[in-house]
Structure 1
């Protein structure tokens, strides 16, 4: 699929992988709705960067864990750009809890992480799908994590939520054929703001990676854009992790 003149929504689009993806989609000719929940300043800055070089973008507030807000976001994007062709489900949260501290994985932690990381992706896909189906063409990428493959990550509930994202990807891919492709891009460690204050830990990890480097947000964005543009693939879980899970 040619990304030129397409309309894309990137959830959590103001920071990290979301920002890199928003900018890259705009560079490839798409109009981009940069979704945010709390990072308004960062979303506005991302939009400004896109507009500064002649791209088309708008910041749209919505908590993806709330179905009504997601539907309102879809309506706002359609009012602005006329349709929706591409969806990047990137918004995600975590809690840092030692994996073996089962008591700390309290009910509210499970509820919060699944509400955003899993239900939020479903709500966005469900709301955008009718528009894509009406045009008989659309593409969705869900951003997963190797935590969902290895079972290890910032917390046990986070790892399980990302495993659910990978399962959701396959189920949505079956539900939305033939008009819409649904795939998951699965990053390993990525140099985003989440490593702030943990630089020593990041350097130790680099030594254990086959490619001896941490991915950049732009490298993950390149894969997301490539998957969105690929018309012959759906239901796939694509890992980009420097060989960490090899």
Structure 2
């Protein structure tokens, strides 16, 4: 699938990996809908940058954990552009809780992380699927995490939520075939605002990675776009982590 003139929705598209993906999609010729929940100024800045470089983009607000908002967002995009061809399920949240602090992983934390990280990705995929099926072509990339593979992450509920994303990817790949391909890109440590206040920890990690570098948002965006374009691949969990998990 060439991305030229395709209509792409990127959730959490105004910051970090989402922003880098939105910009790269636009450079490859896609029309980009940049979703945000609270980061309105960042999303609008991403749209401005795309439009200034000759691309086409709009910002669309929706809390992906709310199905009605997701459906309304997709309806808005379809009304303006006619369809949705590509979905990048990037929006995710976390809570920083020591892995052994089970008492702090309360019901509210579990609900919030699963509502956004897992149910939100399902809601978005479900909302765009009819339009992709109508065109008999579509591609979805979910953003996982090595936390979902190793069990170690910013919190226990976060790691489990990302393991669920990996499983959701395989189930959606089966449910939506053959018209829609669904894959998952799994970053390791990436230099984004998630490391805010812990930059020294990130810098200490880098020399211990096989490639001795922390991935950039652009590294992950490049793999996301490649997965979207690869027409012979679905249901795959693709790790991009500078050798962190070897």
Same fold (TM over 0.5): yes
Point out where structure 1 has 5 or more consecutive residues left out of the alignment: none
What is the Cα-based RMSD across aligned positions, in Å? 0.5
Give the match for residue 199 of structure 2.
Answer: 199
Give the match for residue 79 of structure 1.
Answer: 79
TM norm structure 2: 0.99
Distance in 2 (alpha carbons) for counterparts of 1:47 and 1:229: 22
Distance in 2 (alpha carbons) for counterparts of 1:227 and 1:43: 23
1:97 aligns with 2:123: no
Distance in 2 (alpha carbons) for counterparts of 1:215 and 1:122: 27
Runs (4+) of structure 1 exceeding 6 A deviation are none
Give the match for residue 56 of structure 1.
Answer: 56
- Secondary structure (helix, strand or coil) at the match of 1:49 reads helix
Aligned residues: 246
TM norm structure 1: 0.99
Distance in 1 (alpha carbons) for counterparts of 2:193 and 2:52: 24
Q: What per-residue deviation string (whole Å, max 9, x for no partner) do you get for residues 217-245 of structure 1?
A: 00100000000000000000000000011
- Secondary structure (helix, strand or coil) at the match of 1:213 reads coil
- Secondary structure (helix, strand or coil) at the match of 2:181 reads strand
Displacement of 1:207 after TM fit? 2.0
Give the match for residue 17 of structure 1.
Answer: 17
Q: What per-residue deviation string (whole Å, max 9, x for no partner) do you get for residues 130-153 of structure 1?
A: 000000000000000000000000
Give the match for residue 8 of structure 2.
Answer: 8
Give the match for residue 170 of structure 2.
Answer: 170
Displacement of 1:122 after TM fit? 0.1
Distance in 2 (alpha carbons) for counterparts of 1:13 and 1:178: 27
1:129 aligns with 2:129: yes
Q: What per-residue deviation string (whole Å, max 9, x for no partner) do you get for residues 22-50 of structure 1?
A: 00000000000000000000000000000
